[in-house]
A = this chain, B = another copy of it.
Amino acid sequence: MATEDVPLPPWRKSRKPAQLRRQLSQDLIVEAGLRIVDAEGFDALSMRRVAQEFDTGPASLYAHVANKDELLELIYNRVLGEIRLPERDPGRWKEQLREYMLEVHRVLAKHSDLARVALANIPTGENSIRMGEFVFGLLIEAGMSPRDASLSMDRISLYIVGDAYEGSVHFARMRAAGMTDPQEYFESFIGQIAGYYRALPAARFPHMTKFVDDLVADDGEQRFRYGLELLLDGIEARMPRTP
């Protein structure tokens, strides 16, 4: 079978002349995916786009990742890993809970588009559990009943993620509008909303039209903090024997 001397027919060309079998691992794929989400947005993240980062086709990824959903979960869990948790101090539970919420909010806002993953998946990653233990433990140690602590933790998580999701929607709109400066987008958006409210029939919507300025006064950060304090006060009211 000495066919080696015969040049290979063109349809049997060797796939990659040099450096076949490059390195490709789950970590590299997750890292590339996160890079794409941060730089180009959630909608730009496709299996093809990730594969392109390694100069290959989408099929190559499926050896390391079950499917796109799993990839998203891995990326999300990777981001949650950036969250720093302090030592628990039950005496300062309210301050610590506030700082915790702001910290999670900060990390999710940094990778803004990823909140779209958070709300769509049930949190079962390592880091989700770590965060759950922190909040749940803090409330328990502060004297709350396990049942109330469970419910409070659940609502706190929902609130943070829901707010981040809303923020990511605006981020996507900004990108779609071709803008890059959040401040610029915010002002143009506020202007549109205010104009829309002002054009409403005052007879049917007296309050909305009268207080337009108040309706558009606060930005996302202030809104988040307001809801945060609403929740904290509600939780405090359910704490046993607080002065």
Contact = CB atoms under 8 A, between A and B. Distances in A.
B230 A155 contact: yes
Contacts of A132: 205, 208
A169 interface: yes
Contacts of A147: 214, 217-218
Copies in the complex: 2
Nearest to A224: B155
Given A132-B208, A152-B230, A119 B165 contact: yes
Contacts of A211: 136, 140, 146, 149-150
A223 B165 contact: no
A147 B214 CA distance: 5
Contacts of A218: 147, 150-151, 154
Task: Please provide the 6 A-B residue pairs with the shortest distance between their CB atoms, ordered closest to farther.
Answer: A162-B162, A230-B234, A146-B214, A155-B227, A146-B211, A137-B207
Interface string A161-174: 11101100110010
Nearest to A161: B162
A233 interface: yes
B230 A133 contact: no
Contacts of A121: 169
Contact of A215 (B150, B230, B235): B150
A129 B211 CA distance: 14
A154 B223 contact: yes
